[in-house]
Structure 1
Amino acid sequence: MSNPDNPNTPLDPKNLTPSGKKQRIDDLAATAGARRVGGGSAAGTALLTVDDAGRIEESSGVSLIASAWRRLRRNPVFLLGAGITVLFILIAIFAPLIAPHDPAAGLLLNKVRPQSNPVPGPEPGFPLGADTSGRDYLSRLIVGSRQTLIVGVFATLFGLTGGLALGVLAGAFGGWVDSLVMRFVDVMLSIPSLLLAVSIAALATRPSQWTVIIAIATVQVPIFARLLRGSMLAQRASDHVLAARALGVKRSAIVFRHMLPNSLGPVIVQATLVIAGAIIDAAALSFLGLGNPDDRKPEWGQMLGKAQNNIFDNPALAVWPALCIIIVALGFTLMGESLREALDPKSRR
């Protein structure tokens, strides 16, 4: 008897038994629809059988940070903002080494003529000229970046610390504690931020750089407090927090080990945006004369305020510090917005 699959091969009599037929059917089902890897039919190539259908290759998971970084490194907006920010930080750190002259030395004072030439113009060694005291303007811009960075960073850190304290109280306890903290935050938010900062800075008997930092930090506290409170309220209803409560874990451990670490993501992203606002607010306070009165330590807002006396004779004195403030604030804003979109599932593209 010949084999129906291959007439040249005789059929094994054992396959005619019931058990043989069942085994033959199972073998045909296992190899039915099989295809060769690579689409070839050469001998030695592996066959994919029915058992392989629907099988998914295992791959390692990707964390939220890694997934966000994959999008950020292809985002030109983020790269532009990060480039501006990194350049600004490097210039601020190495300002004394980069500045060609001492920003407090009146090297061109002998060329200052109050009536005919109050502001010396550009010349070799002084590409941006000098101010009304004969001090190199380029050196003052470079060194002023350090003061601007100090104010922006410390104001954001102090504001973040105060906001974390209020946000943790409101989000962890809830109830009357939440209501009391949020009413205090609402009162602070009801006052315009710049007006509140000016009022706080004006209370100081001696204006200084630290009065500006404290004033701006106070304005930023309710922003961080409200944001953290909302994130912690969302964490209170999460499964891992409910499981920890069911297991009898202490409230302090739940707050500081489970709720707070998982709520800091939006707060950190907001901090990058707040630095841009802090730099602008610091420049505004210094422009109004509420900052450091000692002009031997230049600051961009302070330079912008002093340039108003010669705004019509030499507007470049106001243009350069204004451009520096705008570019740096734009860099932090672009970077912060890109981070927010990359970490926010609703904003991902």
Structure 2
Amino acid sequence: MNRPTNPLSPKAKKERIDSLASSAGGPRADADTATDIAVRDVQVSDAGSVGEDEGVSLWRSAWHRLRRNVIFLIGAAIVVAFLVLSIIAPWIAPHDPSARLLIGEVSRQANPVPLPQPGFPLGADDRGRDVLSRLIVGSRQTLMVGVLATLGGLVGGVTLGTLAGAFGGWVDAAVMRVVDVLLSIPSLLMAFTIAAMFARPSQWTLITAIAIVQIPIFARLLRGSMLAQRRSDHVVAATALGVKKAPIVFRHMLPNSIGPVIVQATLVLATAIIDAAALSFLGLGNPDDRMPEWGQMLGQSQQYFNTFPHLAYYPALCIIVVALGFTLVGESLREALDPKSRR
């Protein structure tokens, strides 16, 4: 069988390849040379510069949005006014909240509750005490109960959430089963049960009962955030480098997970004030009415609600407005910090 012969010799092939290369590379080489000359003619200053603006943190970016949020501004104004009022309450109250200044006008048969009059714009209660002064001074007690109860629930919830989210395994399972049991009971019913267990009701029974009710809320929220942080790149890298568990938890996982918990605390504070008022209304608050509290005032007014409803309207309105202020602030913070709900 005859093999096909190549009509070109090796020398002819070489010449053919060289001619093709020269014809294809000639213009390209000229273009490359022209490009090199153009690049050499460009000065460094003509290339522009990179902006030196610093990055914006999550909280700073949220603050920029909150400043333009009318709902947040309204809620913040209410909260600030409430805080200022509770701080300066003893100095701006027109009368002593425990002084029975109008006791002489109290008559069980004709006029058991003095009506508004000069010096007493909101009137007095059934014991002759100025209602306006009691509302102003009562703001401090209401704030103290709400803040201390929220702080107690926050500390307990952060402790349990950190244990569950950092260690996982059987620790996570044990903590979450306790949290599930607490969440299965209605919050007000559980707070009522805890407060009723004390032999003598006081202001601290309110704080303790409400704090225990709030612990599972913070624990579950922080646990979910920390579980997400456990799978993040920086935590995996720190673990691979041999960093100990405690620094990873307290330097990386917990600081990056605490943001939603702080936002939730503003919302829970409003709930704490309402729950404290409810327990005081049911008679489980501080029995000493020389230091007034809005829920306590609301409970004492129920016997005169049909004839003198203003005694209940004033403390109820204060509770509603303050709870609304904290709720508006909390919801605005949540929307500003949550990428899924940003406007």
TM-score by length of 2: 0.87
1:265 corresponds to which letter in structure 2? G
Deviation at 1:337, TM superposition (A): 0.3
Deviation at 1:30, TM superposition (A): 6.8
Distance 1:225 1:70 in 2: 30
Deviation at 1:247, TM superposition (A): 1.1
Determine if the alignment matches structure 1 residue 125 to structure 2 residue 123. Answer: no
1:336 corresponds to which letter in structure 2? G
Determine if the alignment matches structure 1 residue 100 to structure 2 residue 98. Answer: no
2:327 equivalent among 324, 333, 339: 333
Matched residue, 1:302 = 296
Distance 1:238 1:22 in 2: 49
Distance 2:41 2:290 in 1: 86
1:184 equivalent among 172, 175, 178: 178
Deviation at 1:312, TM superposition (A): 1.3
Determine if the alignment matches structure 1 residue 220 to structure 2 residue 202. Answer: no
Determine if the alignment matches structure 1 residue 344 to structure 2 residue 338. Answer: yes
Deviation at 1:128, TM superposition (A): 0.2
Deviation at 1:29, TM superposition (A): 11
1:240 corresponds to which letter in structure 2? H
Distance 1:24 1:255 in 2: 55
1:146 equivalent among 126, 140, 148: 140
Q: Percent identity?
A: 70
Deviation at 1:58, TM superposition (A): 4.1
Matched residue, 2:286 = 292
SS in 1 for 2:101: coil
RMSD (Å) for aligned C-alpha atoms: 2.0
Distance 2:35 2:261 in 1: 66
In structure 1, stretches of 5+ residues that fail to align are 1-17, 32-47
Distance 1:347 1:233 in 2: 21
2:190 equivalent among 188, 196, 207: 196
Larger Rg: 2
Distance 1:208 1:328 in 2: 23
1:133 corresponds to which letter in structure 2? R
Q: Which has the higher helix share?
A: 2
Matched residue, 2:243 = 249
Determine if the alignment matches structure 1 residue 61 to structure 2 residue 55. Answer: yes
Deviation at 1:57, TM superposition (A): 3.6
Matched residue, 1:270 = 264
2:304 corresponds to which letter in structure 1? N
Offset from partner CA, 1:13-56 (integer Å, 9 cap, x none) = xxxxx99x95699459978xxxxxxxxxxxxxxxx96x55xx76
Distance 1:66 1:172 in 2: 28
Distance 2:53 2:321 in 1: 43
Distance 1:28 1:217 in 2: 70
CA, structure 1 residues 145+26, in 2 after alignment: closer, same or farther (shift >3 Å)? same
Distance 1:105 1:195 in 2: 35
Determine if the alignment matches structure 1 residue 110 to structure 2 residue 143. Answer: no
CA, structure 1 residues 57+310, in 2 after alignment: closer, same or farther (shift >3 Å)? same
